Amino acid sequence: MRNKMMLGLMLLAAAATTQAAAQTTIKINGYAGQDPAIVGDLINRFVKPALAKDKINVTYEPLQGDYNQQLTTLLAAGNAGDVFYLPAETLDGFVATGKILPLNGVVATGPYINSLNAAFTRGGKTYAIAKDFNTLAVEYNKAVFDEAKVAYPDNTDTWSSLQTKLTNVKKALGNDYYGICLAPDYARMGQFAFAAGWKPFDSKGKTNLLDPAFVRAFNYFTGLAKNKVGVQPSEISQSWSGGCLGTGKVAVAIEGNWIVGFLKDNAPNLKYGTALIPKDDKTGKRGNFVYTVGWAINSGTKNKAAAVKVLNILTSPQVQQYVLEQGLAIPSRTSLQSNAFLKKTDAGAANSKAVFDGATDGTVRPYYFGVQGPDWIKPINTALAAVLSGQKSSADALKQAQSEMNTFQSR
């Protein structure tokens, strides 16, 4: 009897061991902050139920501090997750490691917005699927325009018509008000250069800041500061354009969907609207950035099939619908452009619609630093700050910026 009991226990132990061995765990790396709660909710709500029958468990391990640096270290050591966030702006550095699995023939890219696919594609190979995105739009304070008796910005605006509206607001309301907040940042100016026809990198990977298209856009943006129509955030004790808009003293800020939550929390009584980025009078086109992070797969994963299943669920229509309706992000699937949420008339939904539309209207490029990384934007931002503060002329600032860019890109 005792022998039979021992045999039974051994069989149970062996079965438990076999069951444990059959369990596959997929580790996801992503941002810290609010993301563990958001992704954890998606995993529990969608991923785990869908994969329970396949005995696939999923865990989320956020990377603290500098995400790009942490991911680089983990990939080099062979300890990165099976699936992870891949920022579009630093894509090339990670592709160069050979640690990112090309998704061609593995995951269907057709359902996603073309400009987002392009942000993660190099040499015909797609390395990530955008999990969500943002673009820029014109955010405006309705009360300021109403008080000035000036028409709101709208989707028919050109560079010149928007500038006229901003100038008229300033003339009507005087020294205590401003037409637009001008952050000295490529991330808020570059879209105008795209509309003018400028490309950040030529065929050799070099940047020309003296290209007439870039110069014209640079001069338009910095020219909005003339006669104090435009103001820098620091001039009114703010750190970004959204903060400027929230003061109630600035008519326009150029921002993305992230401003919705900020205004809800910090300026709940502010009535605002959203319009698309104005068109260049000369080219008749808009320009815009797509700011995006993708889901990528570790080329060294030992569980490729399971990792693909996880990625497909995280980018599925059901997950993206949920993310959109929760106000968490703008989905990357083209099919959601006609979603009922985006047809609502409240300010937040209208903003989401404009941001979604911005990804397919005009010349849209990813927010991207090139192969040498984030320091690429420093010469541009320095030039913007110098001109907006009145320290240098546009010509002198751009001449210096080009010199600094040449030095940087020759390293």
Q: What percent of the chain has pLDDT over 90?
A: 88
* Spatial separation of the C-alpha atoms in residues 311 and 292, rounded to whole Å: 16
SS3 141: strand
* Spatial separation of the C-alpha atoms in residues 17 and 232, rounded to whole Å: 63
* Spatial separation of the C-alpha atoms in residues 267 and 345, rounded to whole Å: 19
**pTM listed for this prediction:** 0.89
* Spatial separation of the C-alpha atoms in residues 12 and 6, rounded to whole Å: 10
Residue 324: what pLDDT?
Answer: 86
* Residues paired with 28 in a beta bridge: 60, 83
Number of other CB atoms surrounding residue 208 within 10 Å:
17
pLDDT at residue 263 tops 50: yes
Q: Cβ distance 392 to 386 under 8 Å?
A: yes
Q: Cβ distance 97 to 259 under 8 Å?
A: no
* Spatial separation of the C-alpha atoms in residues 162 and 372, rounded to whole Å: 35
- What is the C-alpha radius of gyration for the chain, rounded to an integer number of angstroms? 25
Residue 271: what pLDDT?
Answer: 98
Mean pLDDT of 138-162: 98
Q: What is the pLDDT of residues 185-214, one digit of tens each?
A: 999 999 999 999 999 999 999 999 999 999
pLDDT at residue 107 tops 90: yes
314/324: higher pLDDT: 314
Residue ranges of domains in the chain, CATH in brackets: 24-133+290-358 (3.40.190.10), 137-289+369-409 (3.40.190.10)
* Spatial separation of the C-alpha atoms in residues 131 and 314, rounded to whole Å: 8
Give the pLDDT band (50/70/90) at residue 299: very high
Instruction: Tell the burial category of 38 from Cβ atoms under 10 Å away from its Cβ (0-12, 13-18, 19+).
Output: middle
* Spatial separation of the C-alpha atoms in residues 237 and 215, rounded to whole Å: 29
Q: What is the pLDDT of residues 220-261, one digit of tens each?
A: 999 999 999 999 999 999 999 999 999 999 999 999 999 999
* Residues paired with 112 in a beta bridge: 333
Helices of type H across 185-257: 186-196, 212-223, 241-246
Mean pLDDT of 295-308: 98
Residue 337: what pLDDT?
Answer: 86
Average pLDDT score over the chain: 93
3-state secondary structure 107-140: CCCCCECHHHHHHCEECCEECCEEEEEECCEEEE
Q: What is the pLDDT of residues 3-52, one digit of tens each?
A: 554 545 454 554 444 444 568 999 999 999 989 999 999 999 999 999 99
Q: What is the pLDDT of residues 335-381, one digit of tens each?
A: 998 888 899 999 999 999 999 999 999 999 999 998 888 999 999 99
One-letter amino acid for residue 52 of the chain: A
Q: Any idea of the CA torsion for 307, 310, 316, 322, to the nearest 10 degrees?
A: -150
Token digits of residue 184: 């000295």
Residue 10: what pLDDT?
Answer: 52
Residue 11: what pLDDT?
Answer: 47
Q: Any idea of the CA torsion for 172, 177, 180, 185, to the nearest 10 degrees?
A: 150
- Of 146-150, 325-329, 335-339, 362-366, minimum mean pLDDT range: 325-329
DSSP state of 92: H
